[in-house]
Amino acid sequence: MSPTPAPRPSRRRAPLALLALAGIALAAGTARAEPLPAVVDKVLLQQPSVRSAQALLRAAEAQITQARSDFLPSLGLSYRNSDSRDETSGTPIDRNVRRSDASLRWNIFNGAADTNRVRAGGFYRDAADADLDNVLEQVAFEITENYSDVVRLRQLQESLQATIARQERVEANVAHRVEAGRIASAELDLMRVRLIQNRALLGQLRAQLGTAEYRYRLLTGHLPENLVLPAIQPAEGDTDIDTLVERIHERNPRLRAALQRTAARQAEIGVARGSFFPAVDLSYNKRLDNTARPVPVSDTDRSGQLQVSLDIPLGGKNLGRHTEAVERHQAAQADADDLLLKVSKDITDLQRQYAEARLIAPMLEQRVAAAQRVSSAYELHFDAGRRSLNDLSIAQGDLFEAQRSLIENRAQQTTLQAQLLGFAGELREALRSRYRPAPIAPELLGTQYVSPALAAAPVPTVDAPPAPQVDVVSPPRPLADATDAPLKTHLEAWAAAWSAQAFDTYRAFYTADFLPGKGRSTADWEAERRQRLSDAQSLQIKLDGIKLRPRGDNRVSVRFTQHYSAAQYRDTVRKQLDWVKVDGQWKIAAETVLAPPKPPRPTPAASTSPQEP
């Protein structure tokens, strides 16, 4: 039995240092990462399918213009200039005639066919608008799916490469033992078989990744660089199946388009029925000028004529047209009903898959941590001769399969949630307002177990790292004393402007180049805040627990508890505002939502019996 290597304790400390370096690299990579909403906004309108849907919408609007023009009269002008050779009383005469006429025709009744034609055009226009929304949502989902697929395949490739590297180290160890005659050569063959299997799988992953990256280039026009696994924060109603189905039935773009086309087919029945009624036209004809040289014996020089004509259609043409319109309406209604059934089935299936994927996610992280522990322990046991090479090889394969399941689960959650939001026509809006990067912790993708706390660390709730908290008891703080009253006044005015929904006053409290974080620009933040202030109803902002801490000569951090109350939403959060002096005026340079403090744990005495007053 070989002795345990001396540097083993240092190997236990190494992951902590590597983890720190990985965290720094991850933070730097995330800062330069290209977020999914930016990719979608950049390339969405450039897609051919979107341009086609936009053109069809404009064509539908042009059809409404055509239908409305039937309500207006038609004006006709004619001019005639002719040379002829006439014969009068046996005498030939060369005659030149110049004649101009005007006519005005107006259809005053046709069985409301024009009215129904305009109604049908409006429904078709609404259907084309819903088709455009559907195409936009489909393209946004396609980009989201491809974005997640590239990240998934890259993570799988990195995980498998780490597994192969570890197997190669074991292979070298086994080869050394075989040369020394300590174990059979079959053990080396076993290790090589597992390595060949994993290298073949790595080749398949590289091929799939190349295809996904090329598809990403086709969709976006540039290489996929600095991508981070995306996630969308669930909203109220996303987890309740009945609420979700009802919402999607109301907002699904494809279903809206089908219902609008059904209504248009109903209006076209009215167009066909109008052909059964007599058409009444009012026309006015006037001869403007009539010049003939030489003048004939008798001719009309100027005249005006008012005429009402009545056309009564006969035959079965109009009956066939009406029957066709009725049948097309029934077919459109059946198509809409069939689509409703399909959408309901798809929603139920996707929502249950999404719920199960979210439910299993914490257990998959625990599986990875356990597989890391087993793999590390089996490697030590193999070195000590207490485990076979087959056991170690199986443990290493189980670790990769555990990481593979975790990676695919994260990508599946994003894809399923995006598909559900696309069904509701809300994916683009959710990417703008509820997007957050959700990278898998680097220690979960490694082959070395670190600690359960780090392996299962939740996504932090802090938008940006707050300034370090320093509790100063003494000596007194002259800067804080000088700024406490002005800053508290500014803070109260900031909350009052927010409550009054006065955006310009509210915006003036921030620096001109204020950056809200999460990769958003100042213009995006201004547009979002303006929209939220205008949409809120019965808005009230209340602050308490205000604490000021100086951070230098011209910088002060203010922490407080914010109570937000509106007709449709209310919450309470801890927040920090970093104020800086700009041209002698205090301005907000950073705004951070802090994690809520943990509730105090009850003491054993308090949990057994109440305290005496």
- pLDDT, one tens digit per residue, over 74-109 is 899 999 888 888 777 777 888 888 889 898 988 888
* Calpha distance 478→608 (Å, rounded): 47
Helix, strand or coil for residue 398? Answer: helix
- CA 462 remoteness from chain centre: 23
**Greater pLDDT, 247 or 326:** 326
Q: Are 300 and 290 in contact (CB under 8 A)?
A: yes
What is the structure's pLDDT at 464? 41
What is the pLDDT confidence band of residue 528, given thresholds at 50, 70 and 90? confident
pLDDT at position 585 is: 86
447-506 pLDDT tens trace: 877 654 444 434 333 344 444 443 433 334 444 445 567 788 889 899 999 888 889 899
**What residues have CB less than 8 Å from 476, skipping those under 6 apart?**
none
Q: Tell me the mean pLDDT in the region 388-401.
A: 90
Q: 16 pLDDT exceeds 50?
A: no
pLDDT of residue 514: 86
429 backbone dihedrals φ, ψ, rounded to 5°? -65, -40
pLDDT exceeds 60 at position 27 = no
Q: What pLDDT shows up at residue 612?
A: 35
Q: How far is CA 330 from the centre of its chain?
A: 35
Q: How many residues does the chain have?
A: 613
Q: Which residue has the tokens 């939001």?
A: 421
What pLDDT is attached to residue 479?
41
How would residue 247 be classed by pLDDT, with cut points 50, 70 and 90? confident
Mean pLDDT of 558-569: 85
Q: Which domains does the chain have, with CATH numbers?
A: 10-46+131-251+340-455 (1.20.1600.10), 478-594 (3.10.450.50)
- Which pLDDT value is given to residue 519? 59
What 3-state DSSP class applies to 166? helix
Residue 306 has a pLDDT of 67
The residue-averaged pLDDT of 409-430 equals 90
> Residue 608 has what pLDDT?
38
Q: What is the rounded distance in angstroms from the CA atom of residue 599 to the CA atom of residue 613?
A: 23
Q: Which residues pair with 605 in a beta bridge?
A: none
Contacts of residue 97, Cβ cutoff 8 Å, sequence gap at least 6 = 80, 81, 82, 83, 84, 290, 291, 292
The pLDDT score that the predictor gives to residue 151 is: 93
Mean pLDDT of 249-269: 90
Beta strands in 493-569 (DSSP E): 540-552, 555-565
Rounded to whole angstroms, how far apart are CA atoms 550 and 114? 74
What's 47's DSSP letter?
S
Widest pairwise Cα distance in the chain: 142
Q: Provide mean pLDDT across the span 242-264.
A: 86
Q: Which residue has the higher pLDDT, 128 or 570?
A: 128
Examine residue 597 and say whether the peptide bond preceding it is cis (omega within 30 degrees of 0).
no
Q: How confident is the model at residue 318 (pLDDT cuts 50, 70, 90)?
A: confident
Q: What is the DSSP letter of 443?
A: G
Tens of pLDDT, residues 202-234: 999 999 999 999 999 988 888 888 888 888 888
- Residue where the block lists tokens 């683009």: 428
pLDDT for 400 beyond 90 = yes
Higher pLDDT among residues 142 and 302, named by residue: 142
Q: What is the pLDDT of residue 441?
A: 85
| C-alpha–C-alpha distance, residues 294 and 87, integer Å | 12
